[in-house]
Every structure is written in C-alpha cells, then in structure tokens.
A and B are shown apart, each in its own frame.
Chain A
Amino acid sequence: MLGYFDDENAEYVGYDNSVSIDKQSLIGLQGDYLFNDSLSFTAQVVGHTDEQRNSGLEWLYLTYAPSNAWQVKLGRQRIPFFNYSDSLDVGFAYPWLTLPQQFYDTAFFSTFDGVLANYEFSYGDWLLSYEGYWGRFDDKIYLNSQEINTKVIGLFGVNASIYYDNLTLRASFNQGDVDIEQTQAAEFSQLLRQLGFTNSADWLNASGVIQLYHFSASYENVDYFVRSEFSRFDGKSGLVADIDSFYISVGYNFYPYTVYLSYSKKNLHFDHPDNEIPFGISTELDTLAATYLGVLAAFPDDKAAGTKIGMRWDYLANLAFKAEMTFVEAKDEISNDYAVKDLGGFDGHGVLYQLGVEWVF
C-alpha cells in the first residue's frame, strides 16, 4: 500500500502530506482444522501497521455445518453489520483499494464473542439466507484519539439476504447495550445531577442502547456492477452519536481490468440538548456552564463525503493491483475520530492518491 494525501493540514485514513507505505498494510493468517465433514475449527490473526487498528486474534471459532443449508459458529467472530464487515481485511474480495470510509468507518467495534447461525434455502429461482447472532464485546476501542475500555452486552442482530440471478438485497437490524468508560464525563455528570441539572446529567452519559439498521442492494453482470449500502446508527445515550451513511459505486469490467466510481456520505450528529445551566448568576454556575459547553464541544458533529475513482487489475487468479484517487470533503467541525484528521487549518478538501497490491495465498 502506497499513499499520499495532498493537503498538509490534514490526514486521511492515516495518510499525510508525504508518500507513505506503512499505513494500511496488513498480513492475515488463517488456520482451519477439519474434525470431520460437518465440524471445523478456524483461527485467524491479523497484523496491522495502522496504529488505529488493533492487531491480534480476529477469529477463533468452531463451525458446525450439518448440511449445505445450516451453519452454526461459536466463538470470536466479526460482527456482520455490513456487506464487507466480515471481510474488511480481505482487500482482494472487493474492487476498491480502501472501502468507502464514510460508510465503513462508522462501526466502532468489529468483533464479538458468541454464537452465529445461518440458514439458507432456495425458493424457485430465489435464494434466501437468514442469519442471526448473539454475544458480547469487551475490549478497547479507539475514540477521542485514545483507547477506551468498552463493553457491549446483549449484542444481537438478524439479517436476511435475497439473491436472484445477479441481484442481491440485504437488510439487517442490530442492537446492543454499550458501556463506554468515560470517567471524567461520568464524574461531571454526577456533579450536575447533585445540582439538579438532570437533563444535562442524563445527556453526559456514554452508556445505553445502540441500534443499527442496514440495507443494501447490488447488481452485477459480466460487464458492470452497481453496489450500494445504507445504514442508520442510533445511539440512545447522549455521548453516542446518531449516524446516517451510505455509498453507491458503479464499475465497468474489461477483463482483466475494472474501473469504478464511488460516492459515499456520512452525517454524524448528536442531539445536543438546550443548555439548562443559567449564565451570569454566580461564578460557580458560569464555570459549570462553560465546562458543560466544553464537554459538548469535545463531541462535535462530523459530516463528510468521499468520491473515489479507481482501477483494479487482476494480474493473476490470486494477485491484483489497485490504483485509487479519493476526493475528500469534510464539512463544519471534524471530530478526528474517523478517517479525516484535522491537523489545524484544514480547509475541508483534499485528495488521497493510493496504489496497492492484494495477494491471497
């Protein structure tokens, strides 16, 4: 992976204003052990060069597949939020060099420990697939430029996919009860509650239910493809944002090359309540109000769009080269928790140039 971001005042997916080769590179190793025809064990470790991605064990599970139709997995797995959530690191599996970040950047945790079951059957010419999972997440997440202990319990999701010829539709619903360790915010919230500012105190809470809705539609044939995904992330607590995002990509194949154009957009926003702490009554209250507004400012909305144009060259059956340009557009404030990092004075526009090699072995 080789990349260069053309604006010196910002970083995008870890690339800055110098040519770097060590940002998104990774190596994954997977081991499968078959006990018999229906029972197997899988382990996968991934090593990242990107400091925002944790290296280590991504998969560790048992698979029981009594027939073609049923599959049950038990252990540590990727959460199937989106179409490519379980294959983020298999760049060979998708046309883009970097997945549409304004969409794929929004899932702040990616693995769970639990059980996942999948049932597939055909109905006439249609193929239908149902999937459900249940489990928990207990690890560190990367937020506010630091690693934060996070626990998600009661995490579950259901999704259904319909395949008809080269058309694929998928819809999913996911829910979990999140507990993000935010000691300072929690202490401040307690203080506000003691002083009677319960709305503000309630809002300064990073723990609560999250829900994610997802829909995708894709069509592809020998000549071209259209892929799209839409999602709505609903954070019920104040410090967890709501996010609406989507992408749409179209591509044209002229074997062994594929050229594509992609547009993705993210609207991350908080429901900031009106300030209930009065100003100008006492110095203490003024300080309290200022602190409260300071905390609000640490959780800014984040709106961004990305347009990609790129090419994939399938040189061998297991080796592909990719080249991609991403035009990044960030609006208003930038939270710095996601793909775009404002290093100071970023005007909100930049272009990322990337070259990459994908090899599966």
Chain B
Amino acid sequence: MLMFLLNCMQKAAADHIVIVANVDDKSIKLNRQQIRNLFMGGAIPHKLQAIALSPDNESRLLFNTKVIGLTESRIQSFWAQMRFTGRKKEPKEIDSESELLEYLKNHQGALGYCRSGIEIPSELTVLLTIN
C-alpha cells in the first residue's frame, strides 16, 4: 500500500514542469506568463535564451498544455508565420531532457524546462515549478 502511494506521488510529481536556467543572479523571478512570452519569441525584462525540447518529446507536450496553452500544431503554424515574415526566431530545440540540461550547464543565460523528478545539475537554478 505504501509502495503504491509512493508510486502515485512520484507519478503526480512527474507531471510538474520545472523551469531551469543557467544564471548568476539566483533571485530572478519569472512567472508562467513571462515564461510563455519568452518561448513564443516575446520580450521579457531579462536577457535569457529559451531552449525548447523537440516536438515529439512528451515533456514538450506537457509544457505546451501547462505553459503555452496551445496545441503543438498551432505552435508550428505560429512559427511558420513568424519565420516567413522574419518577425521572430523560434527557440533552439534539443531532443532529450538530459541533453537539454547539459546544454544549459554549458551556456550562460540559457533557460529550459523539464519534468519534475529529473535530477537538476547543481550549476543550474530552478526558477519556477508549474503544477
């Protein structure tokens, strides 16, 4: 029974999205709306580079639902419009969460996301957890 409960709790915890970044200033506060703006190519008060997971990644689908609030196909059509009109550039995409965390570690000012439950390297700062 205890194992079952623990298992359930782990699964529930795994459904959160954690926003992590490689920043010197650990006190940066960003909310969900600002994270959304950053990943949709919008301006935010801090100089940060958004790094996304690739479209077939399950955590990206969770991020789309919880943070962006749009379907993957709508996000793709948005970027097609931005790309062909030269308005905005889409975030760099990385295939897996472990590779993404590795990239963040090596790039100052880079910001990404992963599912909770994944070990975050100590060099990175958790800026926000989204339930």
Question: Using a CB–CB distance below 8 Å, which chain A residues touch chain B?
Answer: 28, 30, 32, 40, 42, 44, 59, 61, 63, 68-69, 71, 73, 78, 84, 86-87, 89-90, 92-95, 118, 120-122, 125, 127, 163-166, 220-222, 225, 253, 255-256, 258, 312, 314, 317-318, 320, 360
Contacts and interface: CB of A to CB of B under 8 A. Distances in A.
B42 A28 contact: no
Nearest to A360: B80
Nearest to A84: B81
Interface of B: 31, 33-34, 36-37, 42-45, 47, 55, 64-65, 69-74, 76-78, 80-81, 84-87
Given A314-B76, A360-B80, A255 B42 contact: no
B73 A127 contact: no
Nearest to A120: B43
A165 B84 contact: no
B69 A166 contact: yes
Given A163-B37, A255-B71, A86 B85 contact: yes
A307 B84 CA distance: 28
A60 B36 CA distance: 31
**Which one of B36, B47, B76, B77 has the highest number of Cβ atoms from chain A below 10 Å of its Cβ?**
B77
B76 A317 contact: yes
Nearest to A69: B43
A255 B43 contact: no
A120 B76 contact: no
A87 B81 contact: yes
Given A78-B85, A90-B81, A164-B33, 14 more contacts: A71-B87, A84-B81, A92-B76, A93-B81, A122-B37, A122-B43, A165-B33, A165-B69, A222-B64, A222-B70, A225-B74, A253-B73, A253-B74, A255-B71
6 contacts: A63-B86, A95-B77, A122-B42, A127-B42, A165-B36, A221-B69
Contacts of B71: 222, 253, 255
Contact of A314 (B37, B47, B73, B86): B73
Nearest to B85: A86
Given A87-B85, A165-B33, A318-B76, A122 B69 contact: no
Contact of A255 (B34, B47, B72, B78): B72
- Find the residue from B34, B65, B69, B85 having the highest chain A CB count within 10 A: B85
Contacts of B65: 222
Contacts of A165: 33, 36, 69
A162 to B, nearest CB: 12
Given A42-B86, A127-B43, A222-B65, A255 B73 contact: yes
